[in-house]
Structure 1
């Protein structure tokens, strides 16, 4: 194992432990009506649990790797992060609306990005007791066991996580061999469901942010899938702009099928 491999493996252990600790903090607020504020520009909620979990992550991670940059949904962005080749990208609670509604589908997302691509990633869903993790060059794991994307093909009944509006726009032949999965509020967890084979694809509308997808991106990649834009390019991270255009998450074996479908819908 090279020094770089050892470095990312050590970082993976660090972020997995930090995610578990932050998850325990968030779980302490779960179903206890934490104080909530609203982000004016997006009308999205942020709670005392988000801030407390973020503080736990920042304390652990920045102390352990003071030379790494930092990007979190719940920390004011600092352009200084652009000077770092390596940084943490964090969402202390991905799926805050679900968290506040007492639903289990939320997770702590922690990724490490190096030169624009994730090299270690963890998703921890405390209410489900699920830990997803991956490191560059390694296997994707769920609670310590390897996972892989679905092997279903185009002729099989596919499981799609798409909006009801988009599903209605799909060609009839595609709808007949597809089942729309009920909305999964956490985008990171939804991508993890593609990674472990429960979903065949999810389509992500414009304006997903680095912290929503960086860790999940690597987990999906190491499970045999990909997260790409509608031209087939992988997402890149730690740019000045941290939001993304529309994306597709799917097994590599079905990528072209779904890209063709999305292009047809866009151009039609």
Structure 2
């Protein structure tokens, strides 16, 4: 039996990382149980991981607000300075297909800013320990050297036309990938250089990944260059740019030119 964890004694970053990692293990156990059909697996995993995360956060941080993709929204969060924003399974299709490009997001926005976050990639076991990979705001790593040819991660099922146009303008290689969290972490891990999304998202899709990306020194903004703000009444957040700092202005200028020409 695992020793009890005093979650109230953990720092916010430690708590985010611990919960994301445990939720990832729960999701793997749900999938490996063999109980669910392919059609039912996504819902079962989402709901199971969500219940764990919601109850754990209410136990550990009872005074904080909470926004989860799998929970009914609550107006009470709007009056909170500290709001946890979680996505129990980002990339449900990839999770069901036992791919590596799905994630668990646990993040904390303070006064609307993405301050604390952890992104678990349970299907990507970089260490060989069998525990997957967790990237977090309190344990950063140096970015790998940038290659000569740029690489841009895009949706593996429906690449946004704007992102494809920017990739063409940069002569960048397209790297199809599943979840938003996996795409953002790919830039940190050196699997890509740019993640540009313009096809519509919600706050839980990007909050934790943005917090982690910013902690690693990456540029994070809307595609018009404006800041990303969270814990809004309308949780729809349509676009996102995460990239190495040296590419940001070039990408933003291309987006502006493409939009002007459209």
TM-score (norm 1): 0.82
Gaps of 5+ in 2: 1-7, 125-131
Alignment RMSD: 2.5
The aligned residue for residue 267 of structure 1 is 260
Deviations 1:23-65 (A, max 9, x none): 1111112253736789xxxxxx951111000111111111111
Matches within 5 A, 1:1-268: 10-30=11-31, 32=34, 34=36, 46-128=42-124, 129-135=132-138, 140=140, 146-148=141-143, 151-152=146-147, 156-162=148-154, 163=159, 165-166=161-162, 169-170=165-166, 174-175=170-171, 178-181=172-175, 183-268=176-261
Query: C-alpha distance in 2, partners of 1:240/1:8?
Result: 31
Residue correspondences, number: 242
Q: Runs of at least 4 residues of structure 1 off by over 3 A?
A: 31-38, 149-152, 164-173
1:244 deviates by 1.2
Deviations 1:220-247 (A, max 9, x none): 1121212211221120000101111322
User: Greater strand share, 1 or 2?
Assistant: 1
SS class of match (1:127): coil
Query: C-alpha distance in 2, partners of 1:158/1:256?
Result: 15
Gaps of 5+ in 1: 1-6, 39-44, 141-145
Query: C-alpha distance in 2, partners of 1:171/1:204?
Result: 12
Query: C-alpha distance in 2, partners of 1:149/1:33?
Result: 41
TM-score (norm 2): 0.84
1:194 deviates by 1.3
TM-aligned CA distance change 1:37 to 1:264, over 3 Å: same
